[in-house]
Structure 1
């Protein structure tokens, strides 16, 4: 009888040992799988044509710092402008780089699926999928999310021009994407079309924590800026501030804040922006 009990005990101990071994192996395989998934993230090499500019870089640091002081809950931020060619896309790109260099895990989301400049401007030499393909059900998130050669900076390109951008951006799929990105990253910076003729920025703003309006110095008037701000606020967008861009440093001998009243004004982004 004693021998039979010892035999049963030994069998139980052996089974427990095998179970622990199986569990440990499963944990190891899961860890390897996670590492493999991380290593297999799509990557793209971006080439930044911008030359070093002290004033511009300092303005970006000020902008980044003010965004961080806006609150820990401000993570998804859209950047728009009143009109095309004010330098909006470049500022968003440089800000994403600055956030990454500051140790913040950042993704740049190009939501200008009407007329994106990101691929062409930063010399992406490979075929890439983008937001429009995800929103139309042609690609999953993993196929549109790219790591880059910049520290802590990922990017989602706009993808092919879509015939119905507003409808795509206003759908549940985009809102779901924003939630997922907010969980993955410290900051999600969204480049949207200008406010002049389309409502895309106001639509995107409904699912963002805040918005920044970029204004070209000497080109955009007070009324145009106020109109854009009111359009965004009407959609429920939380305005964080405004940035004055393309400031002529030869004329501006000092560094200062720019604002349309005390509520707005992150700072100046200087020439060639």
Structure 2
């Protein structure tokens, strides 16, 4: 298994690092049966990819065995943003039968953390995520890892996240501060509820901590306040 250096991903200031520790603690308090966790957002740009990946790093640093799966097959940002070699094999290669899973799973310089990138954009992302190969994969990984963190497309944009949610123990919604209207967010939540997934809570992201002394709850359980996340 090849190893990828992800040092650029985990440079957080003290406040952001503490926030991710808080998120990690709340995830762990959800119970030992909550292992496969999906992250989504309402719209693009709310920071779900950064939040989910940094949570995976934080869990691994706490001694948990973690695998991060980039299931945003339509518009992944991780490979480009963090300057990973674009020749890496990804989830698309595995789900389409081109490569074995061991060929698309990468080790990292963070102990206990493995990563599966999305791969090239396929012509049929919804069908790939809904096939039995993906379902079987998640069942197998449950026996091998303490946590499976899955990044998915915005639930308000495409149906892919709703399909993945059906195979997960819980879902976390990332909400960009002042980016999404209440009714639009509620519509996304209602769509998730139709999948029968357990909505673990929401992460309020991209908060200007210098201008806000009080944030309050957005909806669901409130995990923390973040100001470091990138576009996805």
TM-score between both structures, scaled by the size of structure 2: 0.94
Structure 2: how far apart are the matches of 1:51 and 1:106? Answer: 19
Alignment of 1:264 with 2:225, yes or no, is no
Structure 2: how far apart are the matches of 1:187 and 1:95? Answer: 10
Q: Retained in 2: the 8 A contact 1:97–1:151?
A: no
Please identify runs of 4+ aligned residues in structure 1 that moved more than 6 A.
Answer: none
- Deviations, residues 81-132 of structure 1 (Å, cap 9, x unaligned): 0111111111111111101100001111000111111111122136211111
Q: Name the one with the larger helix percent.
A: 1
Structure 2: how far apart are the matches of 1:51 and 1:258? Answer: 27
| 1:222 CA displacement | 1.4
Paired position in structure 2 for 1:106:
66
Structure 2: how far apart are the matches of 1:158 and 1:48? Answer: 19
| 1:227 CA displacement | 1.0
Q: Retained in 1: the 8 A contact 2:91–2:104?
A: yes
* 1:85-100 map, 5 Å: 85-100=45-60
Structure 1: how far apart are the matches of 2:143 and 2:216? Answer: 32
* 1:55-74 map, 5 Å: 55-74=15-34
Structure 2: how far apart are the matches of 1:272 and 1:71? Answer: 26
Paired position in structure 2 for 1:161:
121
Are residues 140 and 272 of structure 1, via their aligned partners in 2, closer, same or farther at CA, if it must alter by over 3 Å?
Answer: closer
Structure index of larger Rg: 1
From 93, 96, 105, the counterpart of 1:145: 105
Structure 1: how far apart are the matches of 2:11 and 2:56? Answer: 17
Q: Retained in 2: the 8 A contact 1:217–1:246?
A: yes
Bigger RCO of structures 1 and 2 (CA < 8 A, at least 6 apart): 2
Alignment of 1:231 with 2:191, yes or no, is yes
Q: Retained in 2: the 8 A contact 1:49–1:122?
A: yes
Length, aligned pairs only: 230
